[in-house]
Chain A
Amino acid sequence: MSGLQLIYPPHVRDGVLRSRVLIAECLALAPFAVVALAFDPAPRIASILGVILVAAGAVEGLFAVVQKRRWDPRCIFSGLLFVSMLSPSVPLGQAAVCMALGTVVSKKRFGSARLNCLHPALTAYAALICFFPASQAGVRTGTVEELIVWEGAFAVAAGLGAMGLLRAGLRNGRIMAALFIGFLGGMIASFVFAGFDVWPDRIAGLCFAGVFLMADPYTGPFTRPSQWIFGLGTGILMAIFPAAMPASPEVFFLLLLLCNALAPVMDDYVVARHKEQLKLPPQRSLV
């Protein structure tokens, strides 16, 4: 009977929607992007960005049609992250192919909480350095003092983004804190064993990876203990990596991808323990 058709709760909602989350994330990335453009104002960036967004959007659109769902605008943010990782000399075709590949590989089954256990941007980057290793040759030039100033600017920009994201609740404070603590610990260890000189040209990449890639809630773990373990472990690895493998900075991102892939494993362990505890007789709390 239409006269008694129900309107279901909740009748009010928080004003935050998926599209608005995306806009906030892009705003948080803006300071970092500005510093990157100031550091290396390559005119090709616009065309790289365009090609990558078209590739990511097209693949996402294909998935949306096949899986009969809406187009997920988050691929725009993944595309922006991928562009931030690329060297401006990368061939357009290679960038587009890798972005498409990264989107395909990292997209898992619709509806799963573990939507992307691999970050699309990281996966795309991994594809690039596996298939086209020559495209990502180092581009940083200049004196050590200049580099330190630039890296400092990158760190401040990433920090600003992190603050905005934390304020908006789009990054998990626990993962961020664990990353920071692990990073500090690992850095002290790497100073002891390798000295300071491996550091200056890595700060930008580390801040970027820490804030925008590893603390990404979509690809990180969801349970509290695994968030700590994930953050601490990733932070330590991120810090000791430049000391351990100074010759091949690209492999750093593969390491992050590995950490990404381990996040659901940690979650599964925590959830399995929770299920086991439920099978035990419940603990009374009468006092």
Chain B
Amino acid sequence: MALPIRTKRLDIPIPGVPAQTVSEGKPPAHVALLTRDYWKMQPVLQVEAGDAVKRGTLLFKDGQSGVLYTAPGAGTVVKIHHDPSGMPIALVIELNAREQAGTPEERDFQPFHSFPLRDLALCTGRDIKALLLESGLWTALRTRPFGHVADPRIESFALFINAMDTEPLAPSMDVVAADRAEDLSIGALAVSKLTNGYVFYCKAAGARIIPPPNIGVMVRDFPGTHPHGTVGVQIHQLEPAGRTRPIWHLGVQDVLAIGALIRTGRLDVSRIVALSGPGMVQPRLIRTRLGASLAEITTGELHPGLHRIISGSILNGRAVIGGDEAYLGRYHQQVCVLPETPGPGSMLRRGMMSMLSPFRRGKPWELSTGHSLNALTILPLGWYEQVFPLAIPVTHLLSALQRRDYAEVEALGGLELDEEDVALCSYVCPENIDFGRLLREALTALQGGSAS
């Protein structure tokens, strides 16, 4: 029996819905690998600025789990950004001319020792794991609880392929995976060998593209409304995660990349992302590449004015101050552009409307990019319950997060969550509390507790 899903539908009426047709994006000249995409990673640099790299060359190694992070394109390492503590946070590669033109040659690809595999049907999970680790595609697998890259030294309890995206302005996975049936079936079969548990393929009800039925992957339908497309909801419903029950998950674009890798031996770094939002001239899907420079792929695509370019969705994406150094996140499927300036209308009208705003819920006239962390306390108006889909007493959970009572967070089931699961709570919070950041603090503390 499925656990009840309790979310009421919440429409976020934001303009700039992308047309669901794929076109070629502007080719980026720079790509980057961002360590912020990978929680708990302890990067050990394997290259220096100025080194020439191929697509698939080792860049970082995780000092703890041994996961390898490889170059998403052939070219030259031009810059390595460090945070104030000296930890590398971004490694920028300037692509060579062939990569920029989209016609890389054999010499631009790093050959992998683990390739070719034997007949895929006879391969073991260990063979697949070795190839994924060596190619850097292992980083596609993330784990619940804690939301970091899967630790190859442990076994997962189940594996989820998330073939839907219900975030506002997201691309349709039917369009993304169209014409790649072979890669999907190879990739799904390969990842299904990584676990002894169940493998679920979660798709939107009505989505047409599914893996072939004879490879042991169970297809499950979810409503196409947010947040049912988030993997947290799917895991919670089908196979709840816990400290002793690590669950791995990955997106369907990574399954396609794994399929392409096993088929060709080459690292596939193409990504279909949605260019969307009110700041975009022509919102649509484009084919671009992992880690692409956002400034470069959005050149000529924006309305005039000051914008915030977000990698990921408006609810859970990431923007940086100084947009020139922004790059597409590892797990992001959209680039959303919002105007930084307030909406139209006189000050008097804005003031009047803001006073009446509680009576206009569901039709927010103002979607602000403004931010306040000066929170008083959470307001238990029942709105969190309306947008939080999991069977967890959410007001108590958010209160525990705010009080930093981490034992309570774990006792209430907070380990199952990730930032994206509480993003809607932050959206409706009248105090503008950033629960995602509080949750990450809690998870970091709780994980430290488990290691000691």
Interface residues of A (CB under 8 A from B): 1-18, 20-21, 23-24, 69-70, 72, 110-115, 164, 167-170, 172, 217-218, 222-224, 267, 270-271, 274-275, 278, 282-286
Distance (Å) between the CB of B37 and the closest chain A CB? 12
Q: Looking at chain A's contact residues, is the secondary structure mostly helix, strand, loop, or mixed?
A: loop
A113 in contact with B430 given A16-B361, A169-B381, A275-B411 (CB within 8 Å): no
Other than the given A20-B358, A168-B359, A222-B380, 14 more pairs (CB < 8 A) read A1-B89, A6-B36, A10-B434, A11-B317, A11-B319, A11-B336, A14-B429, A111-B377, A111-B402, A113-B399, A172-B381, A218-B380, A275-B411, A286-B238
Chain B: which residue is nearest A109 at the CB level?
Answer: B403
Chain A residues with CB under 8 A of B423: 9-10
Chain B residues with CB under 8 A of A278: 411-413
How many angstroms from the CA of A145 to the CA of B284 in the assembled complex?
68
Interface residues of B in 343-381 (CB under 8 A from A): 354-361, 364-371, 374, 376-381
Q: List 29 A-B contacts (CB under 8 A).
A: A2-B322, A3-B81, A3-B321, A4-B90, A5-B320, A7-B319, A9-B313, A9-B423, A10-B315, A10-B423, A10-B427, A11-B308, A12-B14, A12-B315, A13-B427, A15-B364, A15-B365, A15-B366, A15-B368, A17-B357, A20-B357, A113-B399, A170-B381, A217-B379, A217-B382, A274-B391, A275-B411, A278-B412, A282-B245
Chain B residues with CB under 8 A of A20: 354-355, 357-358, 430
**Pairwise interchain contact A14-B364, C-beta atoms closer than 8 A:** yes
B151 within 8 A of A: no
Chain A residues with CB under 8 A of B367: 12-13, 15
A172 in contact with B382 given A15-B364, A20-B354, A70-B374 (CB within 8 Å): yes
**Pairwise interchain contact A10-B426, C-beta atoms closer than 8 A:** yes
A267 in contact with B338 given A7-B319, A15-B368, A20-B358 (CB within 8 Å): no
Interface residues of B (CB under 8 A from A): 1-3, 12, 14, 36, 81-84, 89-90, 198, 218, 237-240, 242, 245, 308, 310, 312-322, 324-325, 336, 338, 354-361, 364-371, 374, 376-383, 385-386, 391-393, 395-396, 398-399, 402-403, 411-413, 419, 423, 426-432, 434, 436-437
Chain A: which residue is nearest B415 at the CB level?
Answer: A278
A113 in contact with B239 given A21-B381, A217-B381 (CB within 8 Å): no
Chain B residues with CB under 8 A of A9: 310, 312-318, 419, 423, 426, 434, 436
5 nearest interchain CB pairs?
A: A113-B399, A24-B358, A168-B358, A12-B367, A222-B395
